[in-house]
């Protein structure tokens, strides 16, 4: 699954609230929903290359 997201700069702002991210292959049935996830949590999970793994 790939998705890009532009941060607003407010670490307490809800991130992609209510968005469902679904795998595009027919083999995988995973769906990710971000509930109560803030932009600060995304920044904490981001690696040196700018990738965030949920």
User: Cα–Cα distances in Å, from 45 out to 19, 25, 41, 42, 54?
Assistant: 19, 25, 6, 5, 8
- Read off the pLDDT of each residue in 11-17 and give the average, rounded to a whole number: 81
Q: In this predicted structure, what is the pLDDT of residue 18? A: 67
Q: In this predicted structure, what is the pLDDT of residue 1? A: 60
**Structure confidence by residue, pLDDT tens digits, 18-46:** 677 777 777 777 777 777 888 888 888 88
Structure tokens at 34: 């971000």
């Amino acid at each position: 699954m790939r998705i890009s997201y532009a941060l607003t700069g407010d670490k307490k702002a809800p991130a992609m609230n209510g968005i469902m991210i679904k795998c595009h292959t027919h083999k995988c049935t995973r769906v990710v929903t971000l509930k109560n996830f803030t932009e600060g949590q995304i920044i904490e999970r981001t690696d040196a290359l700018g990738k965030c793994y949920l």
